[in-house]
Chain A
Amino acid sequence: MEIINLEGTEDTPKILLDKGNGIFEISGRSLPEDSAEFYQPVLDWISAYGEDPNPETSFVFKLEYFNTASSKLILDVLSALEDIEGVSIDWYFHEDDEDMEEAGEEFSELVEIPFDFKTY
């Protein structure tokens, strides 16, 4: 399966989706002008991955900031992952970032996927 490997920029996150090495990560800042357009390839990739997923998938979110339009798309990503067997989320937040911790808790209440909360 193809690998998605996007470098992060000042307004878009780093994205690494690599089935072979079992690495699934979205990290950094997410405030693109058009969040739907930006996340579409990620959603397409997850949908293809769901056809033949690894037995276990730890999907890492390690975000510094995201805008409200991205939050809608993050929920779409989580909803897409929800349909895949063996998925869990590692939700990272900076140790003094209560807002990011709370955001993760809220997402975890909106989808039926186990979340593991970790600080960095």
Chain B
Amino acid sequence: MKYIYDLHKTMLSRNLILVYEGEFTQEITKSVLAMAERNMDSMGEESSIKRKVFNVMVECLQNIVKHSEDFNPLSSKRNAAIFIVGKEDDRYIVTSGNPVDTEAANSLKKRIDEINGLDKEGLKKMYKDIIKTNHLSDKGGAGLGFVDMARKSGQKLEYDFEDMGEGFHFFSITTTVLRF
């Protein structure tokens, strides 16, 4: 049972205030948001910071919900995502991780690099170009999630792809919201 204590210590040392692993649906999204919101309220977080963190969490969680539907319901990868919120003295960290295939990994990498290469004005222009021209995808996505996360946070998006074998990668993305 030592892993429980280890997990507890990891969460404390990494300042994680919320970790959720498993199935992601809209209902679970709402519960996770409510929990994180209550947590920020109880710590007396400023409303402007709370709104930014909330926005980033929404985009992150709804990304996972939409993309978990790419997998066959019987696949172990369908419900294998993780969502983490960390809080340090000067920042919140919102991270999600989920399996993607190689093709998706390549296009995600390209897209996030492109976003990270833009400044505030560049991001604004990209957002407006996409909202004017794009139609919603079959999954109901507007193709604006990462741009919005970059804009709301004002920070570069950090990402990582870990090889899971069998042509899959574990894609994780971290958005930082500064508290000051």
Chain A residues close to B by CB (< 8 Å): 10-11, 31-36, 64-65, 67-69, 71-72, 75, 94, 96-99, 106, 109-110
Contact = CB atoms under 8 A, between A and B. Distances in A.
Contacts of A34: 140
B112 to A, nearest CB: 15
B140 A69 contact: yes
Nearest to A32: B26
Given A10-B30, A10-B33, A34-B140, 10 more contacts: A11-B26, A33-B26, A33-B140, A67-B62, A68-B144, A69-B62, A72-B144, A94-B47, A99-B51, A106-B128
B140 A35 contact: yes
For the complex of A and B, the 8 pairs showing the least CB-CB separation, nearest first, are: A68-B144, A33-B26, A72-B142, A68-B142, A96-B48, A69-B142, A68-B148, A67-B58
Contact of B51 (A32, A33, A65, A71): A65
A68 B145 contact: yes
B47 to A, nearest CB: 6
Contacts, number: 68
Contact of B59 (A64, A68, A75, A97): A68
A99 to B, nearest CB: 6
Contacts of B145: 68
Contacts of B124: 106
A48 B8 CA distance: 57
A34 B142 CA distance: 11
